[in-house]
Structure 1
Amino acid sequence: MPDDHHPHTEPPHANEPHTNEPRTGGPTRPESPHDAVFRGVVGRPEHAASLLRTVLPEALSARIDLDRLTQVSGSFVDARMKWRHADVLFTAPVDEREAYVYVLIEHQSRPDPLMAFRLLEYTVRIWRHHLNRHRNATRLPAVLPVVVAHNPNHPDRPWSAPTSLTDVLDLEPGTAEAMAPHLPRLEFLLDDLATVDVEALRGQPLTPEARLTLVVLRNASSDPHLKDDLQTFIEDLAAIVGRSGVNDSGEEGLLGLIMRYVLLVGQAPPEDYEALFTRIGPTAREAYMTSTADQYIQRGLEEGRVEGRVEGRGETLTRLLTQKFGPLPEHHQDRIQHASLDELDTWTDRILTAPTLNDVFR
């Protein structure tokens, strides 16, 4: 996404239905490749547990029984934020008391400055969901928020937004301290992929599936030499070959899911990876061949969807700009016609506050 893309901070649309229950169905935008591989891997308790062991402070990890993580179905993210957030909720005993671990991934060229506030909203929804199922409860279970920051376009750009709700409040430091006992507090744990040393992942207590997922999320969309990087993780690839394919419930194996992500968002053509997966064995090569065919189909569908969205956003932007500033000069019409979806979103966000037409396109 372009560097000048700012996160959406507008309030929910007045007609957007509000619910205290997680969304489990109904119309939604297509899941992004980033979301699909993240939820597909980290949505499984054994892989989520291995990731959390690398993120949680040791004193906290010792109190949470990560071996008893259980996924809660559904999503607590606003429908309008699904293009940039994906979430997974688990229950886990903490000192033998029921608690929740909420893992959210954000992929955006700039971190969300209101992420702590959004997590407070999602936490309240989780509590409401809990109370709807425990009508006689007089205490709330703890909700531990964890954010995985993923910047697919600038993988080395670290997170720079607040991780604490206190730092989001518009108060002088002294006033914030004086008011602290009377203000809501939330600080989320951050796993910033921009600060991850890929080589160091080899020594962390991650499952092979979780380790490969972090590697490809961090590097696939920006590293033209990803094939060479994956060579160093060939043992992890080989370890999950036996769990590839489709299981009895029709669920895709994680090797195929990870490979499809690499082929869809990576810079190298699919055939560049054939030797790597052939080296692992016939099962891996078969999964590679299947993923390659699916990738070409998926890429065609994605290009068609993006083209349609770009055309619609461009028409909407042109109409709004004309209403506010009058007829558009030809060079601005040309910029809109050749803009990316992210640029159109950025310019549309600026319409309400920009005093001049040039300020929209700055």
Structure 2
Amino acid sequence: MEIINPHDKLFREAGGDKAFASDILKNYLPRDVLKLIDLNTLEISKDSFIEKELKDYYSDLLYKINLADKPGYVYILFEHKSYKDRLAPLQVLEYMTKIWRLHLKQHKKEPLPVIIPMFLYHGQSRWKDTKFSDLMNDSASLLSDYVPDFKYIMLDLTQYPDEEIKGAVLSRVVMLLFKHIFDPDIIEKLPGIFSLMQEIIEAENGMQYLEVILRYIFSTIDVSDEEIKNVVEKSVSREKGEFIMTAMERWQNEAIKNAEKTIQIEAIQMGLMIKFKDKCQKFMAIINKIEDIEKLKQIKQAVIKVNDEYEFLKLIEQ
């Protein structure tokens, strides 16, 4: 089953873990910033500031944290395209403004907090700029007093050797996957990544992250079950390999079931819109909760045969 925006799914799933977030900040913030941060005050915000039409290309995470003993934020924008968008820093500025607006709603009389912007990039061309004013034309240097400017912390993963991607095992696996996901030889990189995944299995919430990582791999890489099996055999112990393959098989079975459920529900909804029109939404609220595929098939047939809405309601509530 295809996952909509797998980059976003993995980024937000991992980034919503406090240990992962703390690990990323500890390993990728500059030292002069890190020494002013109290990681014990880290809070994860569920807010996203990206416009709906851009969610296929960007993901974001907002962390509330004390900076120099004052409330502040670290904002991470992740561009998950294979090419560079030179105007991404402009979006960072727009999203920082949204964060300040949100903060002011809750703290109207307080000064604006500092926001440390980070930009995570894994495109194929190198990203050299690190300042907002790099977007400006040459007159900016002559009129600097009137030009908004800030530095953003650039994490261009393609410029990090694998051995310099540091941190706990989950952080390293996620960052290595993001780094290599557009590589034509990604299959050759997987054994090293899978060898790290052995530790994830034993960690707290390990199965949850193992599943998310496997989903990401199958949703972004053209890889067969046999290729994955070969990778697993080369890189992990037999016991852990069986564990990974079992998890993969379970997820694939669930994916097939979910795909079948989606097909049945879409067919039912189409029929209900034609037959019962304004009652369709009421019926679908019940039908969407049904997991039994055979039951959904019966309902699909009933849409064709049953003309009385009360009789149909009785059927779906059984």
The TM-score normalised by the length of structure 1 is 0.63
197, 200, 204: which one aligns with 2:164: 200
Greater mean alpha carbon deviation, residues 47-56 or residues 82-91:
47-56
Residue 240, structure 1, aligned to residue 204, structure 2: no
Please show how residues 149-164 of structure 1 align to structure 2 within 5 Å: 149-151=121-123, 154=124, 157-160=125-128, 162-164=129-131
Please show how residues 117-266 of structure 1 align to structure 2 within 5 Å: 117-137=90-110, 139-151=111-123, 154=124, 157-160=125-128, 162-170=129-137, 172=138, 175-201=139-165, 204=166, 206-224=167-185, 226=187, 228-243=188-203, 253-266=208-221
1:66 is displaced (CA, Å) by 2.5
CA gap of 1:210–1:278, structure 2 versus 1, over 3 A, is same
Residue 65, structure 1, aligned to residue 29, structure 2: no
1:232 is displaced (CA, Å) by 2.8
Paired residue secondary structure (1:216): helix
Q: Is the 8 A contact 1:116 1:186 kept in 2?
A: no
Give me the whole-angstrom Cα distance separating, in 2, the residues matched to 1:262 and 1:52. Answer: 25
Residue 32, structure 1, aligned to residue 5, structure 2: yes
Q: Is the 8 A contact 1:234 1:280 kept in 2?
A: no
Aligned to 2:247: 287
CA gap of 1:117–1:207, structure 2 versus 1, over 3 A, is same
Instruction: Kindly tell me the number of residue pairs found equivalent between the two proteins.
Output: 255
CA gap of 1:199–1:270, structure 2 versus 1, over 3 A, is farther
Give the CA RMSD over aligned residues: 2.8
Q: Is the 8 A contact 1:77 1:87 kept in 2?
A: yes
1:104 is displaced (CA, Å) by 1.0
Unaligned ranges ≥5, structure 2 = 262-318
Greater mean alpha carbon deviation, residues 191-200 or residues 97-106:
191-200
1:33 is displaced (CA, Å) by 0.7
Paired residue secondary structure (2:37): coil
Q: Is the 8 A contact 1:244 1:287 kept in 2?
A: no
Query: Which of 1 and 2 has greater Rg?
Result: 2
Aligned to 2:229: 274
Structure number having the greater helix percentage: 2
Unaligned ranges ≥5, structure 1 = 1-29, 247-251, 302-362
CA gap of 1:119–1:112, structure 2 versus 1, over 3 A, is same
CA gap of 1:266–1:93, structure 2 versus 1, over 3 A, is same
Give me the whole-angstrom Cα distance separating, in 2, the residues matched to 1:297 and 1:221. Answer: 29
Greater mean alpha carbon deviation, residues 288-297 or residues 105-114:
288-297
1:124 is displaced (CA, Å) by 0.6
Show CA shifts across 1:110-164 (max 9, x none): 3121122111110010000000011222x1110111010022xx4xx3225x432
The TM-score normalised by the length of structure 2 is 0.71
1:234 is displaced (CA, Å) by 4.6
Aligned to 1:87: 60
CA gap of 1:187–1:47, structure 2 versus 1, over 3 A, is same
Paired residue secondary structure (2:72): strand
Give me the whole-angstrom Cα distance separating, in 2, the residues matched to 1:195 and 1:112. Answer: 17
Give me the whole-angstrom Cα distance separating, in 2, the residues matched to 1:164 and 1:123. Answer: 15
1:103 is displaced (CA, Å) by 0.7
Paired residue secondary structure (2:126): coil
Give me the whole-angstrom Cα distance separating, in 1, the residues matched to 2:164 and 2:260. Answer: 36
CA gap of 1:297–1:210, structure 2 versus 1, over 3 A, is farther
Which residue type is aligned with residue 158 of structure 1?
A: R
Paired residue secondary structure (2:8): helix
1:233 is displaced (CA, Å) by 4.1
Paired residue secondary structure (1:65): strand
Give me the whole-angstrom Cα distance separating, in 2, the residues matched to 1:279 and 1:32. Answer: 32
CA gap of 1:66–1:300, structure 2 versus 1, over 3 A, is farther
Which residue type is aligned with residue 116 of structure 2?
A: L
Percent pairwise identity: 23
